Structure 1
Amino acid sequence: MSLDLDTTFQPQHGRPVPVASGVMRLTAPNTGPMTFTGTNTYLLGQETLVVIDPGPQDEAHLSALLRAIDGRRVEAILATHTHLDHTGLHAALRDATGAPLVAEGPHRTSRPLAPGEINLLDAAADHSFRPDITLGDGEALETAAGRIVGIATPGHTANHMSFALEDQGLLFSGDHVMAWSTTIVAPPDGRMADYMASLDKLSARADRLYLPGHGGPVERPAAFLRATRAHRRMREQTILERVRAGDRFVADMVSAIYRSTPKALHGAAALSVLAHLEDLCERGLVAATGGVELTARFEPV
């Protein structure tokens, strides 16, 4: 089963676009190799609004967001996770609207750091974010836009949460599932075992449409989840085969596996390989010398 990604999405930066009944998408102009065409902020409701993912600290995006809100009351600002491209505007938007921040919790790593270990994505984390309301897995927020249920989907980050607008069959999937690209899972910020378990959790649901944090919608979620899971298992098997064939370092595996990938993306690829290797170590299939990190030596078990 192949994973067919859709990179044809055309954003309309600064302009709210209707994507479902009572749901508008506003894409920030933070285009880049990790953010694609920019971060999607969603406005839910009519006279009273809910905002999902305020977006990066960008004055143009804040102005566009306030124009789209147009003086209406905002009853909650939800964050799928605490990377700065999603929550950089949280303080400015809360100050402008008076709305409480709602999330699974503040930023944290997926596991304690080993002695001397560095969180390679720490600079991307929003350590200033503190939710006014914490939402647990399966807990609901009753809003004028409808009942919004928090679905804990750790993996990309430990505090990643998707939000289901269940009366419409919509899932705001953040960076967990996106149509344009596979998700970056980079330990210790994220964890592959958590990510795979979160895919399984979503597979048990019946949401009809995913609205992700970057790019266009996932229109056939069930099939896309199956293909994503199969893709990850195939990549895992490829990495395990490279270790058994003699590759000992992440850089060697990236060079072999991502030969056709632009060099500019090899850094992200290395983080993905490391996440798979950490999972393989946890399952006793691979061993690391000196801890699981980018420069570690890996051996088959």
Structure 2
Amino acid sequence: MQAGELSLLRPGIHRLVAPNPGIMTGPGTNTYLLGRRRITVLDPGPAMPEHIAAINEAIAALGGELEQVLVTHTHPDHSPAARVLAEQHGVPLLGATIADDGHQDTSFKADVELSDGLEIDIDGDILRAVYTPGHVGNHYCFFHDATGLLFTGDHIMQGSTVVIIPPAGDMADYMASLRKMLAYPLAHLAPGHGDLIDAPQQEIEGLIVHRQKREDKISSCLSALGEADLDALVVPAYDDVSAEIHPIAKLSLLAHLLKLQKEGKASVDGEQWQIIR
């Protein structure tokens, strides 16, 4: 996967990778161009001039016209280019807005607010909005009826689990959204970062098992410690990942603890967490 390369995934579905690789973005944010003539850009990515130019060049190369811009959520690696493209082409933005928690693209303002099950016309095909809160409260995936592709944004990425950042991110919602995805006749997952994922049902079920095992491990470690803050708990609970990742892991650790608290299985006093026996 190379930044700036237009890849044909299915008839009428292309991918363009943004030049923003990193620990949180993998090879870069995937921007998808949907349609043959009337083009929908899904997740235009960061407002990097070279990436915006590459999107416009791709639209021209396809011989199409931009009809609308769509985003899965408003994190800064997914949506800032949306406003630029919309203004350049005079087209609407589709997405879901959310209060800024310090991690949102504040430039994004939806012209059309998404709702669960909304059918979006993609050059004659149907793209279904699937509300999937968890990674963040305004996250949507999109199911493409004609191909069985599910565009997963940051709900699922290839080769890594996604970070859940409270309070806008919620682990209980994330787990419920994973189970919700299993109801669709999925052929492949098209993630916001990484390549197409085969065996989508197996991938989703594996993620559910992985998250539950992590939660069980957190509960076991916290029970053994008696009480602990995030700094103390992350070391044994995430001893299977590099210590360099622990600052990021603490975000998902907190999300797991808040889920346990919501379920009446954990409590917190100040910064000290403990299991309720």
- What TM-score comes out, normalization by structure 2 length? 0.95
Q: Deviations over 1:120-170 (max 9, x none)?
A: xx1x31122111011210111123151111000000010000011112111
* Alignment correspondent of 2:46: 56
Q: How big is the alpha-carbon RMSD for the aligned residues of Structure 1 and Structure 2?
A: 1.3
1:91-122 CA distances to partner (integer Å, 9 max, x unpaired)?
1111122221011x21237xxxxxxxxx5xx1
Counterparts of 2:32 and 2:193, CA distance in 1: 11
2:24 to 31, 34, 40: 34
* Equivalent pair of 1:156/1:186 in contact (CA under 8 Å): yes
Unaligned runs of 5+ in 2: none
Shift in Å, 1:260? 4.3
Give yes or no for contact 1:14–1:61 (8 Å, CA) kept in 2.
yes
Q: Using CA pairs below 8 Å that are at least 6 residues apart, which structure has the higher relative contact order? A: 1
Task: Identify the residue that residue 299 of structure 1 maps to in structure 2.
Answer: 274
1:88 to 80, 105, 108: 80
Q: Which amino acid aligns with 1:299?
A: Q
How far, CA to CA, are the matches of 2:41 and 2:22 in structure 1?
23
Secondary structure in 1 aligned to 2:216?
helix
2: CA distance, partners of 1:72 / 1:99: 14
Match of 1:218 in 2: 197
2:14 to 24, 37, 53: 24
Aligned to 1:138: 117
1:73 to 65, 72, 75: 65
Identify which of 165, 174, 177 aligns with 1:186: 165
Identify the residue that residue 268 of structure 2 maps to in structure 1: 288
Flag as ranges the 4+ runs of structure 1 deviating above 3 A: none
Q: Distance in 2 between matches of 1:182 and 1:145?
A: 34
SS state at 1:232 partner: helix
Partner of 1:267: 247
* Corresponding letter in the other structure for 1:151: V
2:241 aligned with 1:258, yes or no?
A: no
Question: Percentage identity across aligned positions?
Answer: 37
- Give the AA of the match of 1:288: V
Aligned AA (1:52): L
- Does the 8 Å CA contact 1:208/1:219 hold for their aligned counterparts? yes
Task: Say whether 1:166 aligns with 2:145.
Answer: yes
Look up the match of 1:13. 3
Contact 2:135 2:164 in 1 (8 A): yes
Query: Normalised by the size of structure 1, how large is the TM-score?
Result: 0.88
User: Any unmatched runs of 5+ in structure 1?
Assistant: 1-10, 110-118, 291-295
SS of equivalent to 2:155: coil
User: SS at the partner of 1:126?
Assistant: coil
Give SS of 1:163's match.
strand
Query: Matches of 1:134 and 1:33 in 2, distance apart?
Result: 31
Provide the residue aligned with 1:107 in structure 2. Answer: 98
Letter in 1 for 2:247: G
